[in-house]
Structure 1
């Protein structure tokens, strides 16, 4: 009876500790929100979690680089648009060429940002596929109480 109990405890602990957590993605206004263990995580934390999967890590590095580039282009473009608007509101002479250049920079930043989000989401999907959540959901042991001439027992079939 002790042997069965030990085997039962070992099998339960094995299934409890081998279950890796999935990263959840949710689309929000202006981008995506990533959660791990029901906690909101940043892109940097996401990269450190995904680091164990080399293919997913390559994708997330590309996505982070594109995200930084689009952020810089969008910031500079917004500044170049805001400067003439502020000058106009202040009553000064407006240089609309700056606003046009700023609009062009923002127009370039938007597709780069979209590509960045796609790469990061592909990395998350690749990571989630690699942790193999189907193996833990298909593992459904059957427990039976058995009795024979020797006594009662618990049988586990998987």
Structure 2
């Protein structure tokens, strides 16, 4: 993600979108990690034979559920930023090849030549 941010610094609109995407991704990752811990702790306690606090698991599941649309939003903003940046370039960066097939006849015989 850092490479994208650095690349898009020259295009303000794309840069703003990628920074929002980066913030959303960070928030989503933190919420998902904390939610996973809150779900995992009671599950581990229950497996170990202890008295699990299932309210923690519920809160954790809620955090995981909220982090999913935030992550989806980050992905959409990233794609938008890439589209905005790419459309501002205006030219293609690849070379179009036009292969040519030629029939050759010389003193050695007949043949074909394929050139790119």
The interval holding the TM-score normalised by the smaller chain is: 0.7 to 0.9
After superposition, the C-alpha distances for 1:30-80 in whole angstroms (9 at most, x for unaligned) are xxxxxxxxxxxxx00111011110000000000000000000000000000
Q: Name stretches of at least 5 consecutive residues in structure 1 with no aligned partner.
A: 1-42, 138-158
- 1:73 correspondence with 2:31: yes
Which of 49, 73, 77 pairs up with 1:115? 73
Paired residues in the alignment total 95
| Structure with greater helix percent | 2
Question: How big is the alpha-carbon RMSD for the aligned residues of Structure 1 and Structure 2?
Answer: 1.6
Shift of 1:135: 9.6
Please list every run of at least 4 consecutive aligned residues from structure 1 whose deviation after the TM superposition is greater than 3 angstroms. 134-137
More contact order relative to length (CA 8 Å, sep ≥ 6): 2
Q: Report how far residue 133 of structure 1 moved.
A: 2.4
Q: 2:14 pairs with 56, 60, 71, which one?
A: 56
| Residue 98 in structure 1 maps to residue 98 in structure 2 | no
TM-score by structure 1 length? 0.58
**Normalised by the size of structure 2, how large is the TM-score?**
0.78
